[in-house]
Amino acid sequence: MDIQSIKNRFGIIGNAPALNYALQVATQVAGTDLTVLINGESGVGKEVFSQIIHALSSRKHNPFIAVNCGAIPEGTIDSELFGHEKGSFTGAVDARKGYFETVNGGTIFLDEIGEMPLGTQARLLRVLETGEFIRVGSSKVQKTDVRVIAATNKDLLQHVQAGKFREDLYYRLSTVPIRVPALHDRPEDIHLLFRKFAADFANKYKTSPVQLDEEAKQLLISYPWPGNVRELKNIAEQISVLSPQKLISSGELKKFLQPYTSNRLPVLVNTPGSHADFSNEREILYKLFFDMKKDVTELKRMFFDVLQHPELAGQHPHLVSELKEVRSSAPEIVHPISIPVNMPAGGSTVQPVLMTPDIHEHVEVEESLNIMDKEKELIIKALKKHKGKRKDAALDLGISERTLYRKLKEYDIEE
């Protein structure tokens, strides 16, 4: 089957080279039983690619199931995937088959694989390597023949370096990697998709489809689309329902687009042997604040050393010049004191140095800027703000509810 036929069959719109290449890889790997790892931002349509692979495989007449690993609580995900025996845990009133048992002979799509707990990752690795699994609460080994397609919007290699994802599982999953391009990487497809969605919603709501003027088209293409195709579809539906005009101007379109500020911080690269994981902007900011605090503290210590040992003043001439600048910009907060400075020829002179009053009382002990402490503090604040509602707190923190649940246990936070 050629690429265009696949697009028509699965409703895929666009001709971007990156999209066509991803489809080509999917069709080539579909006829095999190789494990596939689909990478891409949230909202790009990774599940559609898993359906394409299954539909074009020899397993197409057997079951297909999509499992969102990030939506299943950590305490029950093993039971969901591998099943459990009666009485194996509280509430297990009957034995239950897991997905790997019920989908035997078919395909299982594991979305958000990066959210899977480490213990479950070990069980999954065994299934991939030997086709064997054990129900929770059982000692009987069972066999299954299931093809696994995984997907993630995370950098799994970064998770591996941080100890959050098994390295052996990563390489076992990514036998064939497929990268689904983000919408901002295929600008030539944005207007095509909008027209398709507008036509679909016009048919749904029994009205004529909305259209964009030239300025609105350019605005649509230049918008970064952080929510990708899912966000574009939502915008098209909003405009179709709420706009009084059928020809949309850029001014009208702006009413429906979310305010967007570019926030591209410098990339921090882990040094060899470091296990720091700056996977989100909050942790990057903590790192930057921590480095700034160290610089200020070091400057204070150097100046305090000069006060205690005046003969060291000649080793830090930059302190004198910097303090002179402070005096010129804010003379009311400093006063001069005299410190002997050793001259290169062996003599000495008296050099005025500017100092804030009561310097000894203002030398601060460096506060803790440990990322884990700050993360725990933010979680506690979010729970208090939302009166213990985990879902709202997780949304405010920008993490999944399951991740919040894991953090509560990790930090021993009482709700």
**Residue 27 scores a pLDDT above 70:** yes
Question: Model confidence over 69-82: pLDDT tens digits?
Answer: 999 998 899 999 99
User: Does an H or E element contain 349, and which?
Assistant: strand 348-355
- The CATH 1.10.8.60 portion of the chain extends over 184-254
User: Does an H or E element contain 30, and which?
Assistant: helix 17-30
- The CATH 3.40.50.300 portion of the chain extends over 3-181
pLDDT score, position 288: 61
**Could you give the 3-state DSSP secondary structure of residue 38?**
strand
Answer yes or no: are the C-beta atoms of 135 and 127 closer than 8 Å.
no
- In this prediction, residue 332 has a pLDDT band, given cuts at 50, 70 and 90, of very low
- For the chain, give the longest Cα–Cα distance: 94
Q: For residue 39, report the phi and psi dihedrals to the nearest 5 degrees.
A: -105, 145
Q: What CATH number has the domain spanning 3-181?
A: 3.40.50.300
Query: What's the rounded Cα separation, in Å, for the pair 284 and 407?
Result: 19
Answer yes or no: are the C-beta atoms of 292 and 368 closer than 8 Å.
no
Query: What's the rounded Cα separation, in Å, for the pair 381 and 369?
Result: 17
Q: Give the right CATH number for 184-254 from 3.40.50.150, 3.40.50.720, 1.10.8.60, 3.40.640.10.
A: 1.10.8.60
- In this prediction, residue 88 has a pLDDT band, given cuts at 50, 70 and 90, of confident
Query: What's the rounded Cα separation, in Å, for the pair 339 and 336?
Result: 10
Query: What's the rounded Cα separation, in Å, for the pair 141 and 132?
Result: 6
The structure tokens listed for 208 are: 């004529």
The structure tokens listed for 385 are: 């703000």
Percentage of residues of the chain with pLDDT beyond 90: 58
Say yes or no: domain 370-410 is CATH 1.10.287. Answer: no
pTM above 0.75, yes or no: no
**Residue 355 scores a pLDDT above 50:** no
User: Does an H or E element contain 142, and which?
Assistant: strand 141-143
Query: What's the rounded Cα separation, in Å, for the pair 70 and 154?
Result: 12
pLDDT score, position 278: 42
DSSP string, 172-217: HHTTEEEEPPPGGG-GGGHHHHHHHHHHHHHHHTTSPPPEE-HHHH
Q: What pairs with residue 111 in β-bridges? A: 68
Answer yes or no: are the C-beta atoms of 376 and 413 closer than 8 Å.
yes
Torsion over CA: 141, 143, 146, 149 (sign): positive
The structure tokens listed for 267 are: 């990339």
Q: In which residue are the tokens 């020899």 written?
A: 58
| Interior angle at CA 154, CA 162 and CA 33, nearest 5 | 105
Task: Report which of 399, 128, 161, 168 is spatially closest to residue 273, judged by C-alpha positions.
Answer: 161
Task: Report which of 17, 64, 72, 22 is spatially closest to residue 45, judged by C-alpha positions.
Answer: 22
| More confident of the two residues 276 and 397 | 397
- In this prediction, residue 346 has a pLDDT band, given cuts at 50, 70 and 90, of very low
Percentage of residues of the chain with pLDDT beyond 70: 73
Task: For residue 12, give the amino acid letter.
Answer: I
pLDDT score, position 360: 43
pLDDT score, position 362: 44
Answer yes or no: are the C-beta atoms of 118 and 99 closer than 8 Å.
no
Q: What pairs with residue 355 in β-bridges? A: 335
Task: For residue 271, give the amino acid letter.
Answer: T
Query: What's the rounded Cα separation, in Å, for the pair 263 and 180?
Result: 23
pLDDT score, position 412: 81
- The CATH 1.10.10 portion of the chain extends over 370-410
pLDDT score, position 232: 96
Sort 328 into a burial class: Cβ within 10 Å, 0-12 / 13-18 / 19+: exposed
Q: Which long-range contacts (CB under 8 A, 24 or more apart) does 362-365 make?
A: 363/300, 363/301, 363/304, 364/297, 364/300
